[in-house]
Amino acid sequence: MPTAFFITHPEVSVDPATPVPAWRLSDRGVTRMRAFAGCAVLSGLTSIWSSSEAKAIEAAGLLAAGFGLPVQVDEHLGENDRSATGFLPPVDFERVADAFFANPHESVCGWERALDAQDRVARAVFRILATHHDGDIAFVSHGGVGTLLLCKLLNAPVSRSRDQPFQGHFFAFCLPGCKIIHEWQPIAERNLNFPCRIGP
């Protein structure tokens, strides 16, 4: 049975002077993504899609390199629109992110509403899946919209309690039917001394 993997980019180099969508992966992020690309569970990949943000495209490229696959880009796989605030220091970001998930019907500090972001990313994923016929598929995207998609596939309320613990995780669901196989698992442990373990 084919599998879809929703993968979030790993660690980035934070640069407050650069627009967030243009941020690139850090050295640790690159290393973790390369380690994940070698996992046997991904051996059936025939299609790789990415959001249009630089860090996601870079992560998708590292994944695609070992398979000789192109990276296809869809801007609707992008993170929730946070351009109203731009970069926020970590403490402020966490506070606003908590409010974003807690109030999905509202725009928090001008951010895209959680329900709108959820609808956007779900429509993009389902549209892409409608044209996918053989093998496994990977979506390389972002933690916020990934959590929103996970909630939708689980038919669960929007909640940050289902958020990834840190950058660089993935969940999997079967095709067709989009039944969740497992929720967030790290693409690689932060210290990189890990077995590639995939399971429920």
Q: Which residues, at least 6 apart from 34, have a Cβ–Cβ distance to it below 8 Å? A: 62
Per-residue pLDDT of the chain (200 residues; tens, 9 = 90+): 899 999 999 999 998 888 888 999 999 999 999 999 999 999 999 999 999 999 999 999 999 998 999 999 999 999 999 999 989 999 999 999 999 999 999 999 999 999 999 999 999 999 999 999 899 999 999 999 999 999 999 999 999 999 999 999 999 999 999 999 999 999 998 776 544 454 43
Class of residue 99 by CB neighbours under 10 A (exposed 0-12, middle 13-18, buried 19+): middle
Residue 195: predicted pLDDT:
44
Class of residue 68 by CB neighbours under 10 A (exposed 0-12, middle 13-18, buried 19+): exposed
E strand residue ranges, 99-191: 136-141, 169-174, 180-186
The alpha carbon dihedral of 192, 190, 27, 138 has a sign of: positive
